[in-house]
Chain A
Amino acid sequence: AQSVAQPEDQVNVAEGNPLTVKCTYSVSGNPYLFWYVQYPNRGLQFLLKYITGDNLVKGSYGFEAEFNKSQTSFHLKKPSALVSDSALYFCAVSLTTDSWGKFQFGAGTQVVVTP
């Protein structure tokens, strides 16, 4: 069984400060890891993914994430947050051994960036 945990329901950060959204996972194998963002009344938009190779992955809108196998984490980061980054963020995992490639999503973290 696989699971994803996003330990913070909400993250508050001032504009211009670094932003971190945490994600940890539990899988019985090697994971593929994804981050998505959801703006109000919209569908999910893909930000970035880790498949293999370099542990630091860069994605859209200046976001990056670091895969840490020993800590089973995949935290999302942005060096300088913008008010427009305020949204709901989801971490997702799928297993390399799952031929159907089903995703397991975390519960989501609401990010609030204040001016």
Chain B
Amino acid sequence: NAGVTQTPKFRILKIGQSMTLQCTQDMNHNYMYWYRQDPGMGLKLIYYSVGAGITDKGEVPNGYNVSRSTTEDFPLRLELAAPSQTSVYFCASSERGGSVEQYFGPGTRLTVT
């Protein structure tokens, strides 16, 4: 199993541009998450999904959108990129919520200039 895969690994955007970060998992997990990691801040939850067609906002959703049309894929859309969105983005998945561990992808390093 590949686990959780993310593309691209790196990306530089200009202010105002848009892009989609891709996330795919092959573990048949229902739960998927998007986090951003900023130095000294830990990981902040952006959006999460508990199944195809079901998504909800996390702690820092502004400036982002998600969709979940299949169990495997959970893309994150950035509209009108801003320098504050410069960060490392991680996708994760889990079998269910709460007592089970989440499995993380390798991350996407995004710079907005």
Contacts and interface: CB of A to CB of B under 8 A. Distances in A.
Given A43-B90, A45-B104, A100 B48 contact: yes
B40 A32 contact: no
Nearest to B44: A105
Interface string B39-51: 0111111001010
Interface residues of A, number: 27
B97 A34 contact: no
Given A49-B101, A107-B40, 16 more contacts: A4-B42, A9-B40, A32-B99, A42-B106, A43-B104, A44-B43, A44-B90, A44-B92, A45-B104, A90-B42, A94-B98, A100-B48, A101-B99, A102-B58, A105-B35, A107-B42
A100 B97 contact: yes
Contact of A100 (B42, B50, B104): B50
A99 B56 CA distance: 13
- Chain B interface category by residue count: 20 to 34
A43 B105 contact: yes
A98 B99 CA distance: 10
Interface of chain A, helix or strand or loop or mixed? loop
Interface of A: 4, 9, 32, 34, 36, 41-46, 49, 51, 90, 94-96, 98-103, 105-108
24 contacts: A9-B40, A32-B99, A42-B107, A43-B105, A44-B90, A44-B104, A49-B99, A94-B99, A96-B98, A98-B98, A99-B98, A100-B31, A100-B56, A101-B31, A101-B94, A101-B96, A101-B97, A101-B100, A102-B33, A102-B58, A103-B33, A103-B43, A106-B42, A107-B41
Interface of chain B, helix or strand or loop or mixed? strand
B99 A108 contact: no
B43 A101 contact: no
